[in-house]
Amino acid sequence: MTPERPSVPEAPAPVCYRHPGRETHVRCTRCDRPICPECMREAAVGHQCVECVAEGRRSVRRPRTVLGAPARAGARPVVTYTLIGLCVLAYLGELATDRVFDELAMIGLYRFDGGATIGVAEGEWYRLLSSMFLHQPPDGGSFWITHILFNMYALWALGPQLEQVLGRGRFLALYLLSGLGGSVLAYLLAPGTPVVGASGAIFGLFGAYFVIARRLGTPPGPIVFLLVLNLVITFSVPGISWQGHVGGLVTGTVLAAAYAYAPARHRQAVQIAATAAVLVLLVVLTAVKTTELV
């Protein structure tokens, strides 16, 4: 008579590590933990759990441009469109009332007949920035409308490309500091002359485009022709603030060079330091000129 074999208890069915009440026979191909259908994520081979998928995403380095900006193929140039919108809104304000021009235009120091004074030297430092969003008003001459049209076209043509390769933060810093550089040079050399326009910032984009084109090995011929043409117009047409144009061009070119040629190992630190250094220099020059005028 054959003795009966002792019965072996069946092993309990595995349960999902995140949902203990759900039985499952599928395991994560990365950590081998049981996962239910809700926790499954398709992988190249089999399925992975939620935590392993998240960890894998963190370990993957996002592609970046040569200048260190996140590579966003097809991304909308949000900063460019926002700057254009602000300039258009400011111009509509100029058309509605003269106070917009009078209170926001860049002027270093102006004395009225009664003895009252206005300007940056009187503490209205915001004029250095607000003026780059204004443009020549209708009573400013026969070419008033071309002022904003040309600047907005140049911003629309150059802005998206520079914003993509620089990244939104660097592009915005370059634009604003170029415009500020133009205002500061106008403040230093012609403090009594009202100055408005995005031209300083636009010339900064011209200089940046040239530097970045050289850095990427792109022929800079077209931008050089456009830059030379605009410089000729700047110095040949009366009523144009050449100080604003040159100040923006120099600032944009210097800052773009720091962005484009920063060493890869310390790229972000060098770019931040360059941005801060340019800002500090412009602030110091403004403070020195203010002390002289006051």
Burial class (CB in 10 A: 0-12, 13-18, 19+), 215: middle
Select from 251, 210, 250, 248 the least CA-distant residue to 227.
210
Q: Provide the 3-class DSSP secondary structure of residue 156.
A: helix
The arithmetic mean of pLDDT across residues 5-19, rounded, is 69
CA distance 145 to 148: 6
Q: At 27, is the pLDDT very low, low, confident or very high (cuts 50, 70, 90)?
A: confident
**What residue ranges do the domains of the chain occupy?**
14-49, 78-293
The arithmetic mean of pLDDT across residues 272-283, rounded, is 97
Residue 142 one-letter amino acid: S
Please check the confidence at residue 247 and state whether its pLDDT lies above 90: yes
Residue bearing the bigger pLDDT, 71 or 228:
228
The arithmetic mean of pLDDT across residues 32-55, rounded, is 79
Catalytic, out of 47, 135, 147, 245: 245
- Would you call 245 a catalytic residue per the annotation? yes
Select from 75, 279, 280 the least CA-distant residue to 163.
75
- Per cent of the chain over pLDDT 70 is 88
- Would you call 135 a catalytic residue per the annotation? no
Catalytic, out of 131, 199, 241, 266: 199
91-132, pLDDT tens digit by residue? 999 999 999 999 999 999 988 877 778 999 999 999 999 999
CA distance 176 to 87: 13
The pLDDT of residue 62: 63
CA distance 183 to 127: 9
**Mean pLDDT score of the chain:** 86
Domain 78-293 has CATH 1.20.1540.10: yes
User: Residue 26: how many CB atoms within 10 A of its CB?
Assistant: 16
